[in-house]
């Protein structure tokens, strides 16, 4: 996927993508420390838009947390996909987003639902 789409990591944690050996797949990593805030605050998503030099509505965020990732992205003006590997029920009041539970199938859904 990273050959066709510019990918970035947005994390509330402090994972070092270089240290864990996945940095070759991502153009950037934006942590809570970098933006002095935690998702669902829009600062992560705004910084990603700034880094990639795009409007925030051109950002597609994939995350496993309905509030921090999905609601955070949508409230910031980005698009969101819920990575739901555990098969949990959607309990948020907002509309259920596109859901994936497998990265390979997810790539197909991304290609079908979004232009890039």
Give phi and psi for 46, each to the nearest 5: -65, -40
Q: In this predicted structure, which of 54-63, 67-76, 87-96 has the lowest mean pLDDT?
A: 87-96
- Residue 37 neighbours by CB distance under 10 Å: 15
pLDDT mean over 44-56: 97
- Per-residue pLDDT reduced to its tens digit, 99-114: 999 988 888 888 888 8
When the pLDDT of each residue in the chain is averaged and rounded to a whole number, the result is: 91
Where would I find the beta strands (DSSP E) of 13-78?
28-31, 60-63
Specify whether the CB–CB gap between 11 and 29 falls below 8 A: yes
Average pLDDT of the residues in 21-34: 94
**Looking at residue 111, what is its pLDDT?**
84
Task: State the architecture of 8-113 in CATH terms.
Answer: 3-Layer(aba) Sandwich (3.40)
């Amino acid at each position: 996927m990273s050959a066709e789409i510019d990918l970035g990591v947005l994390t509330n944690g402090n994972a070092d993508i270089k240290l864990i050996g996945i940095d070759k797949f991502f153009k950037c990593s934006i942590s809570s420390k970098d933006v002095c805030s935690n998702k669902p605050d829009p600062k992560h998503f705004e910084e990603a838009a700034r880094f990639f030099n795009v409007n925030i509505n051109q950002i597609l965020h994939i995350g496993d947390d309905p509030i921090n990732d999905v609601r955070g992205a949508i409230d910031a003006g980005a698009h969101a996909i819920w990575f739901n590997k555990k098969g949990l029920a959607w309990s948020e009041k907002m509309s259920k987003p596109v859901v994936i539970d497998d990265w390979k199938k997810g790539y197909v859904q991304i290609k079908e639902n979004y232009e890039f």
